[in-house]
Structures are given as C-alpha cells and as structure tokens.
C-alpha cells in the first residue's frame, strides 16, 4: 500500500481573514528537505510510531488557533474583570475556558498600561504562544527581529508603525524557558459599552506580540 505523497493530500484550511500567498509544495521539483520529511514520515508510519490520521488531526488543531482565538481572550479580559484577574494570576488555567491546553509550557499575560508597553521576542529560537496564536509569522523568527528587539525595541516598534511615548516604559520579554507570553493590549478609548465580539475585531496578532497596539474605532 503506497504512502501518501507530499502533494497528493487535499487539505481544507479554515477561513482565515489575512491570507498570504502560500509557498507551493513543489516549485518544479521536491527539495532535499521535503524528501527528508516524506522519508521520516513514511518510516515512522511504517514503524507504527505515528499515523496519517494523527498527523492530519494535529494540522487541523493548529489551524484552529490564531489571531481570532487570541482576540477573543483579550476581549473577554477587557469586558470581564473576574476573568481578567484569573488571566493575570494564572494565564495557563484561565485560557482553558477557551479550550486552550498549554501542554508543558505556561502562559504569562503581560498587560500594557498607561506606563508600560510590553513586547515579546525569543532571541534563542522562536518560542511563541502557539497554543493560542497558532504558528508565528516569518518575521518573528527572523534574524533581524531576534537580534534587534532586545537591544533597540523602540526602533523595531517604529518599523511596525508603533511609536511608544518617550516617557512610557518599554519592557521586552525574551522567552528563554517554558513561559510563553501574550500581551494584553490597552483597551482603546471610545469603546465603552461595546460587546466582546465587537472589541475582538480591534485586536490583532501583532498587538498580542506587542509590536502594535489595538486598533481604535474609526
């Protein structure tokens, strides 16, 4: 029975508001590392270590995570003080309300305030709150972001169009261990009485990393 080929498997991605052009699975030929992936997968399936179903389910699970899930958590924190208190005290436990299982990592929510702006980086690799936000963007894993954010955060933020006032503290979090950071952006002015659903639309992934702030109502 032949194993699935790399390009033969149709997969329906869930609707996602910000689509970017995908890298094609095969440009014209398979690269060395794509061949390695097929080989490792087929050998492991042959040895009964993983199954095609498990792989598919893991892909689908990761596809459900992303900006929308994070934004829901933020919007609930903005509208539900008791939830916010739980989130700040024990982020790992609080996000179980949303079906998030942090596994062996722990979620730390860092709150932006009138006096502190937080931004998150992993200089050593690419640690990211994947169980909430899904897979990180390329730039978060890039040499330039990883090198410069700890040393010149304000310049990096400016490249994202975010200016933090000179009298506000910028706090950089370098994820070096098992903590994963989610920034709780400041709730924008002019949103009094808004529902959590309406508020969630103001929260971008970039604001939860800390390179942006929440959008303001038009």
Partner 1 sequence: MTGRAAANASVPARFKPGDAVSVRRAHPPGHIRTPWYIRGHRGTVVHALGPFANPEELAYNRPGLPAQPLYRVRFRQREVWPDYVGNEADTLDIEIFQHWLEPAGGER
Partner 2 sequence: MREPIRGHHDMGGLPAGRVEKTEHDYAFWEKRVDALNVLLAAKGHLRVDEMRKNIEALPPDAYDRMTYYERWISAIANTLLQRGVLTADELGRKMEEIARREGVSP
The residue count for the chain: 218
Residue 150 is a binding residue for partner 1 (CB under 8 A) = yes
Please choose which of partner 2, partner 1, none residue 169 contacts, taking the beta carbon within 5 to 8 angstroms, the exact cut-off set by kind: partner 1
Pick one of partner 1, partner 2, none as the site partner of residue 175 (Cβ within 5 to 8 A by kind): partner 1
Q: Which residue in the list 2, 6, 127, 147 is annotated as catalytic? A: 127
Question: Contact region for partner 2 (CB under 8 A) — 33-41, 64-72, 79-87, 188-196?
Answer: 33-41
From 2, 51, 122, 147, active-site residue: 122
**Active site annotation includes 195:** no
Q: Which of residues 187-216 bind partner 2 (CB under 8 A)?
A: none
Best CA proximity match to 9, nearest among 47, 44, 53, 50: 53
| CA dist., res. 48 & res. 196, Å (int) | 45
Segment contacting partner 2 by CB under 8 A, of 72-80, 111-119, 121-129, 195-203: 121-129
Q: Which of 6, 34, 123, 126 binds partner 1 (CB under 8 A)?
A: 123
Kindly state the number of chain residues that form the binding site for partner 2, as judged by CB under 8 A. 65
Kindly name the residue from 2, 6, 51, 125 that is annotated as catalytic. 125
Local structure of 161: helix, strand or coil: coil
d(CA 195, CA 16): 22
Q: Per rule CB under 8 A, is residue 123 in the interface with partner 2?
A: yes
Is 127 an active-site residue? yes
Round to whole Å and give the CA distance between 143 and 127: 14
CA-to-CA dists, residue 177 to 9, 104, 106, 107, 131, angstroms: 36, 11, 10, 12, 16
Catalytic: 142?
A: no
- The site map against partner 2 for 142-181 (x = CB under 8 A) is xxxxxxx-xx----x--xx-------------x-------
Those residues whose C-beta lies under 8 Å from the C-beta of residue 208, and which sit 6 or more positions away, are 67, 70, 71, 74, 129, 132, 133, 182, 183, 185
The phi and psi torsions of 120 (rounded to 5 degrees) equal: -115, 140
Can you tell me the distance from the alpha carbon of 174 to that of 123, in angstroms, rounded to the nearest whole number?
6
6 flagged as catalytic: no
| Residues engaged in binding partner 1 (CB under 8 A) | 104, 106, 123-124, 150-155, 166-179
Query: Which residues are catalytically annotated?
Result: 122, 125-127
């Amino acid at each position: 029975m032949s194993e699935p080929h790399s390009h033969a498997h149709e997969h329906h991605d869930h609707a996602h508001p910000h689509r970017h052009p995908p890298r094609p699975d095969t440009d014209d030929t398979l690269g060395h590392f794509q061949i390695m992936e097929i080989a490792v997968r087929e050998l492991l399936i042959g040895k009964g270590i993983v199954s095609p179903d498990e792989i598919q389910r893991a892909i689908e699970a990761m596809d459900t995570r992303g900006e929308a899930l994070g934004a829901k958590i933020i919007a609930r924190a903005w509208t539900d003080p008791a939830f916010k208190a739980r989130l700040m005290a024990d982020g790992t436990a609080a996000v179980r309300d949303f079906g998030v299982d942090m596994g062996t990592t722990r979620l730390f929510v860092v709150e932006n305030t009138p006096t502190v702006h937080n931004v998150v980086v992993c200089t050593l690799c690419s640690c990211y709150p994947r169980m909430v936000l899904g897979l990180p963007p390329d730039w978060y894993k890039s040499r330039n972001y990883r090198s410069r954010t700890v040393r010149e955060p304000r310049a990096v933020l400016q490249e994202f169009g975010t200016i933090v006032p000179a009298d506000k503290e910028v706090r950089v979090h370098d994820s070096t261990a098992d903590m994963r950071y989610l920034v709780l952006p400041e709730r924008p002015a002019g949103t009094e009485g808004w529902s959590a659903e309406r508020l969630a639309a103001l929260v971008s992934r970039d604001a939860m990393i800390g390179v942006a702030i929440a959008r303001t109502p038009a």
